[in-house]
Structure 1
Amino acid sequence: MNCPCQSQQSFETCCQPFLTGSALPETAEKLMRSRYTAFTQADVAYLKKTLAPESRHDFDEAATRKWAETAKWKGLQILATVKGTAQDKKGTVEFIATYEADGEGLDHHEVSEFRKAENGQWLFVEGDGHTHAEGEGHHHHHEKPQTVQREAPKIGRNDPCTCGSGKKYKKCCGTDAA
């Protein structure tokens, strides 16, 4: 059986040793892949075990189990990995996890932060993510910032006031009291 993390390896040689505890993921990306696989298996104990201690306070075991069990996990796509320096032992993984919930295909796009503990174990610290319709694409999901085009030249604080008073703009019409 191919590993659910889509590494193109068998489950037995990829994520299974991590989930069973017979091996530790050697990189932040391998931990990310194994955590995705844990979701597909509803292995909430592994998800909790691979959380950094400072991130466990708001871990909702029941909600995590419900999400893992009710979602139909469809795939994982690693978009980018950034390794920290050897000294700080940090890593970042950007990914999209595709799943189906209540008949709707969804993409969970996240940038996750990891760190390597003193014992050599990689831990999930936090993630910044959002979910949108499957295939919607990250660029379609977010509006691009609009360039502001002024109809008149910008008036600087130290420019002469436009009312003709002869005062600086900041001392005349440019104040909040004006």
Structure 2
Amino acid sequence: MPISGDRNASIPCPCGSQKLLTQCCGVYIQGPFPAPTAEKLMRSRYSAYCLKNIDYLFNTEHPSRRQPNSRQLISATANNVAWLGLTVLATEAGQPEDEAGVVEFVAVYQEGESAAQLHERSRFIKEEGKWFYTNGDMLPPFQPKKNEPCWCKSGKKFKQCHRKKS
């Protein structure tokens, strides 16, 4: 999906920044500029999954992590999942002056009829001025406080939606 042009000028960025795609992650996905921080790379990779931009996802994965079937795996994920929202929970380092960084996030997605979440602590490294995703640790499901909005983006409070009743 191309990002530039009149048709996409008013599309909100999928990363949840409240900015327009062309003024946020689109700059990195389509443009000549690399993401300046680990968090911006993570957000732009999330947006690229939403946009099914396999090339960007492949090119921002560290070359040492790429497998012969990396493009097929990325494509399968991008095409079989509808991404519903992203929440960045924490960042460690990953600033323009750093060489490594960590971003913890929750990405909500729909596969089939049900919503689920990917709660991950992702690691990034910067080489020759460019950030790359290296790997991540899957974390237990994120549990908001009972009166906070539910992680599934339903608009309900967590206690009225996905909270397990005890």
User: TM (normalized to structure 1)?
Assistant: 0.69
Partner of 1:57: 67
Identity %: 36
Give the helix-richer structure, 1 or 2: 2
Unmatched segments (≥5 aa) in structure 1? 142-178
Residues 36-115 of structure 1: matches in 2 within 5 Å? 36-57=46-67, 60-83=70-93, 89-115=99-125
- Secondary structure in 2 aligned to 1:3? coil
Aligned Cα root-mean-square deviation (Å): 2.7
Seen in structure 2, the aligned counterparts of structure 1 residues 56 and 85 have a Cα distance that, compared at 3 Å, is same
Unmatched segments (≥5 aa) in structure 2? 1-10, 143-149, 153-157
User: TM (normalized to structure 2)?
Assistant: 0.74
Q: Is the Cα–Cα contact under 8 Å of residues 106 and 132 in structure 1 kept in the other structure?
A: no
- Separation in 1 of the partners of 2:59 and 2:95? 24
Q: Is the Cα–Cα contact under 8 Å of residues 90 and 104 in structure 2 kept in the other structure?
A: yes
- Separation in 2 of the partners of 1:117 and 1:30? 16
Shift of residue 60, structure 1, vs aligned partner? 2.8
- Separation in 2 of the partners of 1:85 and 1:16? 20
- Separation in 2 of the partners of 1:31 and 1:85? 11
Q: Tell me how many residue pairs correspond in the alignment.
A: 138
- Secondary structure in 1 aligned to 2:40? helix
- Separation in 2 of the partners of 1:79 and 1:33? 12
Shift of residue 128, structure 1, vs aligned partner? 1.1
- Separation in 2 of the partners of 1:101 and 1:45? 22
Name the aligned partner's letter for residue 112 of structure 1.
S
- Separation in 2 of the partners of 1:76 and 1:46? 18
Q: Is the Cα–Cα contact under 8 Å of residues 115 and 125 in structure 1 kept in the other structure?
A: yes
